[in-house]
């Protein structure tokens, strides 16, 4: 039996007795696979950087300058891409705010303290 889920959460929650069973099809990518993919992207970027350095030595003109810019800019881009963290699946947002009820403060009464 499938139950309704909180707003914005599309994962079905199935109840069997007193326990919740979450669908495996909506599980996140394992951390080890995610790290492998980030490492692969980083190595590809650094390989392109090496090719840019080699290109600087064998080319001339505007191509040399483009290769140099690539060789200088690629480390920053590669590190930013490699350090991109996991994205959360559900954006819970801030909790609902319930206003508190306060009693009114009375002003000064004439004749008191005079």
Number of domains in the chain: 1
CA distance 108 to 20: 59
Q: Is residue 92 part of a domain?
A: no
Please list, in sequence order, all residues whose beta carbon lies within 8 angstroms of the beta carbon of residue 28, skipping any fewer than 6 positions away: 86, 89
Residue of higher predicted confidence among 56 and 5: 56
The pLDDT assigned to 30 comes to 80
DSSP 89: S
Q: Is 67 exposed, middle or buried (0-12, 13-18, 19+ CB in 10 A)?
A: buried
Instruction: Give per-residue pLDDT as tens, 102-114.
Output: 777 777 777 766 5
Asked if residue 103 belongs to a domain, the reply is no
- Quote the pLDDT of residue 96: 72
pLDDT range class, residue 27, cuts 50, 70, 90: low
Q: What is the pTM of this model?
A: 0.50
Query: Can you tell me the distance from the alpha carbon of 114 to that of 28, in angstroms, rounded to the nearest whole number?
Result: 73
Q: For residue 17, what pLDDT is reported?
A: 62
Stretch 82-87: mean pLDDT: 69
CA 86 distance to own-chain centroid: 5
The per-residue pLDDT for range 57-73, each reduced to its tens digit, is: 999 999 999 999 999 99
Range of the domain at 73: 29-84
């Amino acid at each position: 039996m499938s139950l309704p889920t909180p707003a914005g959460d599309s994962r079905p929650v199935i109840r069997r007795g007193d326990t919740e069973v979450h669908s495996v099809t909506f599980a996140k990518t394992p951390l080890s696979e995610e790290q492998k993919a980030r490492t692969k992207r980083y190595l590809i970027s650094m390989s392109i950087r090496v090719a840019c350095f080699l290109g600087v030595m064998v080319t001339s003109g505007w191509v040399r300058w483009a290769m140099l810019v690539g060789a200088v800019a690629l480390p920053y881009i590669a590190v930013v891409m490699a350090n991109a963290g996991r994205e959360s699946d559900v954006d819970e947002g801030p909790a609902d705010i319930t206003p508190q009820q306060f009693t009114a403060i009375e002003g000064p009464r004439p004749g008191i303290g005079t």
